[in-house]
Amino acid sequence: MRQHPHTLSLCLALALSLAVAHDDGTVHSHPHDHAAHTAEVLDRCQGLEMDAVSVNEEGTPYFFKGDHLFKGFDGKAELSNKSFSELEDHHHLGHVDAAFHMHFLDSPNEHDRMFLFLDQKVFSYYQHKLEDGFPKDISEVFPGIPNHLDAAVECPKPDCEEDSVIFFKADDIYHYNVRTKAVREKAFKSMPNCTSAFRFMDHYYCFHGHQFSKFDPETGDVHGRYPKEARDYFTRCSEFGKGSDHLQRERCSRVHLDAMTSDSAGNLYSFRGHHFIHRDDKNNLTSDTIESDFKELHSNVDAVFSYKDHLHMIKDDQVFVYKIGEPHTHLEGYPKPLKEELGIEGHVDAAFVCDDQQVAHIVKGQNIYDVNLEESPRVATNERSLSFFKRVDAASCDKDGVKVVVGNHFYSFDSPMIMITAKSVPEQHRVSVELLGCDH
């Protein structure tokens, strides 16, 4: 895979800084120190070119860089062999060149496998365990596909004519038929060479440097305003380039929401990282930093609910309360401890209050609790299980019912009771398109 000059310079500087001179004049380096130091300096908000991108069996994106790995859209780099331990046994191979997650339901021997490509070898993992016999030569598992790939992405029907994997090497594009093992070579003239690629939310993304383009997997056609800045859509970063459209970024970001609420006047507030979007009752959208309107919070809200014209905002183990208005007014005496204010401890994933109700529903993991806001002291009671969701990122409630956000999708329920007792998960809706008005 191609490396940019600034990347090579960084690697050289690190190597020199970690070399140790001994009394006999010899110089040795410490690989473990090097790895630890590299993890500290790998900052994707500085515009890293990722070597490979895939998703795991739960849909969490994995971004590979050198011998490190970023999981999800935030968090620090960790060594790849922490999750894929067998990579340590083959350290003579290069970094991960390409990766993809095989997700073809009618092929049990290949379903839910993650394939990692290093030089001429391919590793097949099932639930983070290397399958017997791997690594193997790429030519043995995927005949007709070359070594030293740049990128790979799965393409199930009907996105592609047949269940396929698309492999990228420089200008060469290979459509590999999973059933017949036939290979079709194509030319994607509309987009740059991909340094990594992945399928996410039923769309196909080609990364080139720290930019990306969305493309048609059959033709390679790119429609719309591309390339775009990857840090605006696939990473939590507090600062962006001067050319960023903040509203467009927040509406269309693939990073999940941290919190969401609606008030009695019909306003919707959604929070993500350092920014929030406000949608008023006339469907007008604005975006700004959290610190601009809620300076005491700074950023990264865990949960928010609206009650009696006040926003109750949970961050870590504290509760901040603001009177809704222009500007929002931070109430004196806050923040208060979460235990004191709501009678609950630990990390809160989501919280909501329905119209004309006095009960705050608090979601922690797969459990939901009720807190009567008119009682003193407030106590979390009525613990129940949310059987359909392993996690909830955000939730809100209004006259139309409850919206539960999980990743990039939301689910609607007529009431909290129906949400808890439902026998099946309702239809998925896209947060970016149906809540925030993104056009793609």
- Phi/psi of residue 355, each to 5°? -50, 135
In DSSP notation, 331-351 reads PTT--EEHHHHHS--S---EE
pLDDT recorded at residue 26: 40
Q: Give percent of the chain with pLDDT exceeding 70.
A: 87
Residue 352 covered by a domain: yes
CATH code of the domain in which 171 resides = 2.110.10.10
Do 13 and 136 sit in the same domain of this protein?
Answer: no
Residue 253, pLDDT score: 82
Say if residue 115 is in the same domain as residue 183. Answer: yes
* Residues 4 and 115 grouped into a single domain: no
Is residue 238, in this structure, part of any structural domain at all? no
Shared domain for 56 and 187, answered yes or no, is yes
**0.75 exceeded by pTM:** no
Closest to 134 in 3D by CA, of 115, 107, 153: 115
Q: Is residue 240 part of a domain?
A: no
pLDDT on residue 108: 55
Sort residue 305 into left (φ over 0), alpha (ψ -120 to 50) or beta.
Answer: beta
Least-confidence region, from 28-42, 137-151, 199-213, 400-414: 28-42
In this structure, the number of other CB atoms found within 10 A of the CB of residue 106 comes to 8
Same domain, 341 and 397: yes
What is the reported pLDDT for 243?
54
The pair phi, psi for residue 197, each rounded to 5°, is -155, 150
Task: State the chain's mean pLDDT as an integer.
Answer: 84
Domain check: are 308 and 198 in the same one? no
- Are 161 and 57 part of one and the same domain? yes
**pLDDT number for residue 34:** 46
Tens digit of pLDDT for each residue in 11-65? 333 333 333 334 334 444 444 444 544 555 788 887 778 999 998 888 889 999 9
pLDDT of residue 191: 83
pLDDT tens per residue, range 259-299: 999 988 888 999 998 889 998 888 888 888 898 899 898 88
pLDDT the model gives residue 19? 39
Indicate the number of domains in the chain.
3
Got the DSSP string for 156-215? -TTTSSSSEEEEEETTEEEEEETTT--EEEE--TTSPPPSEEEEETTEEEEEETTEEEEB
- Residue 2 belongs to domain spanning: 1-34
Q: Which residues, other chains included, contact 23 with Cβ-Cβ below 8 Å and sequence gap of 6+?
A: none
User: Given this model, what pLDDT does residue 53 score?
Assistant: 95
Distance CA 81, CA 70 (A): 12
Phi, psi of 385 (to 5 degrees): -100, 140
